[in-house]
Structure 1
């Protein structure tokens, strides 16, 4: 039976009303990857000063280098919990990572100054025992690569091994043999193993979904030496490089990553997050600081910050502009793997002089390797000078006093800076970065930061 024209008219009129007044569904927010930042339990054999001395030694010597290209995917996000490792005698922050299929859990150093991601690993005839890989009782088991269905060694006969992978060795018994590496660090530490492709399991931002982050370049380390890795199972490379975990993850999750570092002396259960993709903590921020993120081969694998100067109590310090000029051998980087802030000598001398002048009258003490230390046991109501770091674009970092006047022993505080010979790049270490949320927007080359308790509540 044919429909009448009046019926058709009212039918389409009613349909248009529904379309007009139906609420539009908001676009779903991108998922987020967060990694928890993990802190180690205290080593009772170490005094606070012993720990600080170890941090200074490692910071001065660390400057490592190392260089697969992930295919871009739709943006999303995920998070990993992170904690401080200060009480293990290390100034680094750790993150738990689930590697392989089925997944095995490991504790890795979260390091923006390193590009190679590796784990202590056993594969075939290449065993990794306690003698080779360390015997920290808190460290997780070595990665049993034979048990992972997604572990695929890269052959030494491949173009990737011969041309693109840093620190790869020229030895190649057969074209199908694994691509070996010998990755050295400037503190004398080293790690030997071979390259492979592997997957890690990530939990997306809704807290329920899990997925595999595939095609990660992973170092299977069968032997390592030196103090850098005693408290961890390996390194999560967050530096700027085609092979780093950060580059692989940001290519699939919004082109950016962020982290918030809890106080390095905070309680054992204090955790924060390493996030890939949009970070929901920024949305609640009343005032987010923003400046240029400097990405250049001269700084790789580090991320440069566009520092233009420092001030103390509002007085801009007279530091030569060349100190912050990358083209003239200077500049400043943010390094989550270094603890103290290291300043090129022309800046160091001006900064410690300006701070120490305002602390005259407080008894000085000697605590190697620091130049300015104070007996704080009988200090009354004193106004500590306020340090500020100024960036291009009027961004300003106002660190808490404890980030530059640090506790090194009972009743002793020191100016927490070390110097590096000029010309050299200055380093903003993780103690100076603590209790701030930092976002590295690689896609747009922007650095954002804000003061934060580093908790989501």
Structure 2
């Protein structure tokens, strides 16, 4: 869940550094990094937000410092399973263990809104995407007067939603107060007869419901049994000094699962109800980001960008899911040598680029060749036991090892030249592993490989661009 700040962004320090540093010093360091960040490469006409990694100490919703990395991988695998099920238009393998969300339960606690159709009372929600602790967050303003809320940013989701008072059924613990619609003079519930209510089925992959008072009800569900159910609403959304009225979003009344301490989810997928598409008439159909590592600053920028700095790959059309971002992986090299496989193996599965997936998944043949080539190039480095889903591991930390140059090439000439931190991921204090795994039904370019690159999603021109050195 699967699903970022802009002209300023908070850098994330290592958890080890945070644990040994006084809180005041960490706060001062975070502030200094924001002030020192170089955003000259961003277009001044776009809307910029700071982007935080949820596991960094500068994050407003930092994960517990004792959280094992295996938990990140477990959530990541749930996300992959649900994406695979979504592409296959079938329930995920964990659906039998997933509780049925009863829309009626939301309204038994509400004397004003009731009468949900019986046929909707016990419909299992379609699995969406899992949201764990490998995600990125930013602040979004909502209401009049505007108040800030911490949101998970995700390119694999469409509907933006956040927890709303009075949380008639359940709200998870979040950082800061829950949004109260009664405090916003621009808030309005959305009726069932609106086009936006009809659009919910494609935005959430679940049917909309309708209350007896004609309020549209959304149902958003995710692959790890997390879900949000509530009222489709509209209000003024703001980012810094920029505000846009009549923004459609979900006002969650029953929100349960693994959303960390965020207020909700910001959707940037290709859908009428996504944040991107709703802001597009004002800002244009593009957004860019630089995902920060544990020691860098990042941003999310919505709107126009400087096109000359990027190398591009076309977005690939797919009938599997027209809201996700598909591209074509065309080759990989290790130490300057192409992997010893046929070029057709790279396109044996559809490939998605996704901000919410931590570990990149490759077609099995490609992964096996990559694993063998990297291990061969690092034959002088002591091997470590497999860790969870990662089976190519080494003793040491990524920053201290000599690793081969690895590049991922995409159709059209775009490429990602991976640093050690893009190639390997530290799973504990003494072990680092290849940050790739075999794919199920789709290859996925995850956020570890994207970190510190500037990535632009130019939906209008139907292309995705990459540029090195997007953030520190």
Whether these two folds match at TM > 0.5 is: yes
C-alpha separation in 2, matches of 1:145 and 1:297: 38
Structure 1 range deviating more: 430-439 or 340-349: 340-349
Structure 1 range deviating more: 107-116 or 294-303: 294-303
**Inter-CA distance 419–101: structure 2 relative to 1 (3 Å threshold):** same
C-alpha separation in 2, matches of 1:62 and 1:234: 19
Aligned residue for 1:357, secondary structure, equals: helix
Match of 2:339 among 317, 321, 330: 317
In the alignment, is the contact (CA less than 8 A) between 1:55 and 1:339 conserved in 2?
Answer: no
Tell me the alpha carbon deviations over residues 122-161 of structure 1, each in whole angstroms, 9 at most, x when there is no partner: 2xxxx227x822124xx12111112212222111244542
**Inter-CA distance 44–154: structure 2 relative to 1 (3 Å threshold):** closer
**Inter-CA distance 51–332: structure 2 relative to 1 (3 Å threshold):** same
**Inter-CA distance 171–406: structure 2 relative to 1 (3 Å threshold):** closer
Structure 2: runs of 5 or more not aligned? 1-42, 88-130
Q: Which residue of 1 is the match for residue 73 of structure 2?
A: 53
Q: Which has the higher strand share?
A: 1
Q: Does 1:449 align with 2:466?
A: yes
Aligned residue for 2:73, secondary structure, equals: helix
List aligned pairs for 1:120-199, cutoff 5 A. Answer: 120-122=163-165, 127-128=166-167, 132-136=170-174, 139-158=175-194, 160-162=196-198, 165-166=201-202, 167=204, 169=207, 171-174=209-212, 176-199=213-236
Task: Return the offset for 1:435.
Answer: 0.7
Q: Which residue of 1 is the match for residue 315 of structure 2?
A: 293
C-alpha separation in 2, matches of 1:386 and 1:303: 27
**Inter-CA distance 442–162: structure 2 relative to 1 (3 Å threshold):** closer
In the alignment, is the contact (CA less than 8 A) between 1:246 and 1:257 conserved in 2?
Answer: yes
Tell me the alpha carbon deviations over residues 421-446 of structure 1, each in whole angstroms, 9 at most, x when there is no partner: 2xx22111111100110111111112
TM-score, reference length from structure 1: 0.75
Give the total of aligned pairs. Answer: 377
C-alpha separation in 2, matches of 1:158 and 1:100: 21
Task: Return the offset for 1:30.
Answer: 6.5
Task: Return the offset for 1:58.
Answer: 4.1
Task: Return the offset for 1:297.
Answer: 4.2
Q: Which residue of 2 is the match for residue 92 of structure 1?
A: 135
Q: Does 1:272 align with 2:298?
A: yes
Q: Does 1:340 align with 2:359?
A: yes
C-alpha separation in 2, matches of 1:380 and 1:97: 34
Q: Does 1:399 align with 2:402?
A: no
**Inter-CA distance 295–242: structure 2 relative to 1 (3 Å threshold):** farther
Q: Does 1:221 align with 2:247?
A: no
Match of 1:254 among 278, 284, 292: 284
In the alignment, is the contact (CA less than 8 A) between 2:453 and 2:468 conserved in 1?
Answer: yes
C-alpha separation in 2, matches of 1:113 and 1:89: 14
Match of 1:420 among 402, 414, 439: 439
Tell me the alpha carbon deviations over residues 260-306 of structure 1, each in whole angstroms, 9 at most, x when there is no partner: 1111x22xxx54221112336x66x4xx3222123544343221223
RMSD of equivalent CA atoms: 2.9
C-alpha separation in 2, matches of 1:43 and 1:393: 38
Q: Which residue of 1 is the match for residue 392 of structure 2?
A: 372
Task: Return the offset for 1:48.
Answer: 4.8
C-alpha separation in 2, matches of 1:394 and 1:46: 42
**Inter-CA distance 389–154: structure 2 relative to 1 (3 Å threshold):** same
C-alpha separation in 2, matches of 1:414 and 1:201: 40
Tell me the alpha carbon deviations over residues 329-374 of structure 1, each in whole angstroms, 9 at most, x when there is no partner: x222211111111122222222212212222242222222311111
Q: Which residue of 2 is the match for residue 72 of structure 1?
A: none
Q: Which residue of 2 is the match for residue 390 of structure 1?
A: 409
Tell me the alpha carbon deviations over residues 199-239 of structure 1, each in whole angstroms, 9 at most, x when there is no partner: 21134xxxxxx342123220111112222x12311111011
List aligned pairs for 1:348-359, cutoff 5 A. Answer: 348-359=367-378
Q: Which residue of 2 is the match for residue 241 of structure 1?
A: 271
Aligned residue for 1:46, secondary structure, equals: coil
Task: Return the offset for 1:65.
Answer: 6.6
Q: Does 1:32 align with 2:46?
A: yes
C-alpha separation in 1, matches of 2:284 and 2:193: 34
**Inter-CA distance 271–96: structure 2 relative to 1 (3 Å threshold):** farther
Q: Which residue of 1 is the match for residue 239 of structure 2?
A: 202
**Inter-CA distance 65–275: structure 2 relative to 1 (3 Å threshold):** farther
C-alpha separation in 1, matches of 2:428 and 2:336: 30
TM-score, reference length from structure 2: 0.73
**Inter-CA distance 369–453: structure 2 relative to 1 (3 Å threshold):** same
In the alignment, is the contact (CA less than 8 A) between 2:197 and 2:208 conserved in 1?
Answer: no
